[in-house]
Amino acid sequence: MAADPDELAPWPDLLTFGGSSGSSRPRSRGRGQVLRPLAVAALCSWALASWVPAFAMQRSSRIEAQCATRCRAGLKDQVPTEPGRSSDQDGYEQLCCRWNREEAEAVEKAKKTLQSGKTTKEAKQLAINELEYWAIRRGGYDAEIILIGTLASPDKDLAGQAHVSLKKTWASHFNAWVNNDIIHGKTIQNRGGAREALKIFDKVIFENPIWGEGYHLRAKCWNTLKDLDMTIHDLRKALEYCPNNYLVMIELGITLMDKKQEYDEAYALFKNAAELCPFLPIDIFVKSLHAKAPHLKAQAEAEAAAYIFTLDAPPLKLLPESWIHREMAIERPNQCFLRVGAELEQLRARWFTQVREHDADRGTQRKLWGKLVIKWDPDKFPKELHSFTSQVHEALKARSERELAKVEEKDPDKEEFDRTSDEYDEEAVAFLRQLRAERRQKQKQKA
């Protein structure tokens, strides 16, 4: 009996799904036709089961290798190259640099907003909030100096908001745990436990020895305990580390005037406080001081009469002769710079306004700024004063560039028109206007 060709079909023919192509007889559905699709499916399943995981593992390992390479490259940049340094210290310094950069950019933007005449009142108020944040969060000197300059703003709302922001700045610490200790100490003091509150403030001062508000709070405890010498000592320490705190100036001045009869020092404190914050209600204290020391009233009147505005030299308060002899210029140059910066901001609102009112041209103002900047050249002073004078010198250079950029060059045609507008009739004014327009047209054609 002849064998069925389908049964004798070799294994490779299973992939052809049939027997020989030359057969023309009808074919029944044999065993090979059933096995061939099953074999193909089994082969595909085996391929998927073996190739796909291998491909996935290969892709995963390649991605992991790329990530590892990138991590090694990033860590390589952070690994210190100098002996004795750690990656933690370098990372901390990089973070501080980023914070310093963000603070400088935000403070500069807020300063431009406050000093510009084209920004809205709402924008200026937001700028004050931004300065308050950086003054508290980072203890920024620049932010505090700008807030002090805003106290002399003609807008009373902005000046009052700056006053509130400064009070928050001086009374708050950037560390929340220190603020918690302060609230705890104040609560105990208000309940009559001055001795217990004193221990808390001693701990705050020990942990933050250059924070002025700690000494201020402890001085209030000493005042409650009737210890006059320690009260004055801590008030002076508070003013030493926070030299622009005019609230402490007033408290110290009142204490010296009433308890110690040191009228000259009290007069200087009241005067500085009034210059920093012009709207402080201290007239009653000044009158009381003048009643106790009449010579101080005569001295104040003589100083007011002797003041003569001039375009030949900058104010004496901005010259180094008024600052370099102070002990804080050497011992605490940052605090001394903070005080000079406040004076500069206050004079910006008064003296610079008088300079513009006297119609000083660009050359005259450049000459004044040049004298001031040269006076503070750090190379002219001893080495121990370099830290203080360098800060002031850089601040004055930056301020001179900003102030001179605001000064416009005078137009000779406009000056001619301004001089003659009050001397001649309307026909002469109209003629000058026509002449001015023709000159401008000719200049445009030449350009």
Percent of the chain, pLDDT > 70?
69
Alpha-carbon radius of gyration of the chain: 40
Using CB atoms within 10 A of its CB, is residue 442 exposed (0-12), middle (13-18) or buried (19+)?
exposed
Question: What mean pLDDT value characterizes the chain?
Answer: 76
| Closest among 290, 279, 213 to 257, alpha carbons compared | 290
pLDDT in tens, 277-321: 888 888 899 899 989 988 888 888 887 766 666 777 777 777 888
Q: Which of 35-44, 68-77, 120-129 has the lowest mean pLDDT?
A: 68-77
| Least-confidence region, from 51-60, 263-272, 328-337, 372-381 | 51-60
Confidence of residue 25 (pLDDT cuts 50, 70, 90): very low
pTM of the model: 0.63
Taking only the tens place, the pLDDT of each residue in 79-98 is 556 666 666 666 666 666 77
User: pLDDT tens for residues 141-198?
Assistant: 788 888 888 888 888 999 999 999 999 999 988 888 999 999 999 999 999 899 999 9
* Count of Cβ atoms closer than 10 Å to residue 58 Cβ: 10
Q: What average pLDDT does range 372-398 have in this prediction?
A: 83
Task: State the pLDDT at residue 442.
Answer: 81
